[in-house]
Amino acid sequence: MIINIHSNQKINGNTFAIQHRHNFFDALPKTYYSAGLLPENITEVWPTHFTLLEAALSSNLALAISGCGLNKNCVVNWQLQQQAFSAQVKLANKFKKPLLVNADLASDELILLIRENQNTQTVIFYTSNTAWPMAEKLLAAGYWLSFNKNLRNTKTQEVFLQTPLNRIFFFSDDAAVPVEELYQLAAEIKALALNEIILQLELNFKKVFKIPVP
């Protein structure tokens, strides 16, 4: 089974996708989903949205807290971003769900906040443009990496090649590039059979999300 751990779109066919929600927590899908507060959407009323998020994560269909993190490329108040992210780390501990983390020029700050908030859950970093020195630092800290359409880029391919297959996921977000294409590209980069990629990612999924592959 092809697995997409973060999709903003409904996906049909032989791909299992976790549907991401970053707003409209009162209109949740009737399938497995993740939810979280995006740093670029944080405002002074974020505690109200956080209450709705907490309710959304109480469902057995909620598999992860996703899209949370820090973003130095947006105009949102930095302190508010940190407060909202710290609250979501604590929420992950409460519900025992993994964190899928955005790190726009803020990986070091995120590592510090994750530690300060005594995170006990699996952390997966979206690696849109992560260079190897930072990817190596994230892996050394025990975190996982998730790759998207940027796997087409040479720099990202170099990171992927050095990342152990048992610490990897794939996601599509809003991109038109299907995850099936990423799996095929991953097999070429790693010089492995496609089925080896599929089977290892299924094992990764079971380990992190604690449910069988649907």
CATH number reported for the structural domain that contains residue 67 in this entry: 3.20.20.140
Flag whether 50 is in a domain.
Answer: yes
| Domain range for 27 | 2-209
Cα 206 to Cα 213: distance, rounded to the nearest angstrom:
7
Cα 202 to Cα 3: distance, rounded to the nearest angstrom:
7
Flag whether 136 is in a domain.
Answer: yes
Domain tally, the chain:
1
Flag whether 214 is in a domain.
Answer: no
Q: Which of 213, 205, 212 is nearest to 64 (CA)?
A: 205
Contact 199, 3 (CB under 8 A): no
Encode pLDDT of 91-127 as tens digits: 999 999 999 999 988 999 999 999 999 999 999 999 9
Flag whether 88 is in a domain.
Answer: yes
The C-alpha R_g of the chain, in whole angstroms, comes to 16
Enter the pTM of the model. 0.95
Encode pLDDT of 55-71 as tens digits: 999 999 999 999 999 99
Flag whether 177 is in a domain.
Answer: yes
Show the DSSP H helices in 30-178 as ranges.
46-57, 78-95, 107-116, 132-140, 154-162
